[in-house]
A = this chain, B = another copy of it.
Amino acid sequence: MAVEDRLAKLGITLPQAAAPVASYVPVVVTGNMAFVSGQLPFVYGQVMVGRLGDDVSVEQGAAAARACGLMIIAQLVSAGLADRVDRIVKLGAFVTSTADFTDQPKVANGASDLMSEIFGDAGTHARAAVGVPSLPLGACVEVDAIITLKD
Residues of A within 8 A of B (CB): 20-28, 30-33, 35-38, 51, 53, 86-87, 89-92, 94, 97-106, 108-109, 112-113, 116, 124-139, 142, 144, 146, 148
CA A35 – CA B30 in complex, angstroms? 14
Cross-interface CB contact of A105 among B22, B94, B100, B148, cutoff 8 Å: B22
Using A126-B37, A138-B102 as known contacts, say yes or no to A112 and B30 having CB atoms under 8 A apart. no
Given contacts A23-B109, A28-B124, 20 further A-B contacts (CB under 8 A): A22-B105, A22-B112, A22-B129, A23-B112, A24-B124, A24-B126, A30-B33, A37-B126, A37-B127, A92-B128, A99-B133, A100-B134, A102-B137, A103-B136, A104-B136, A128-B142, A130-B142, A131-B132, A132-B133, A133-B133
A134 to chain B, nearest CB (A): 4
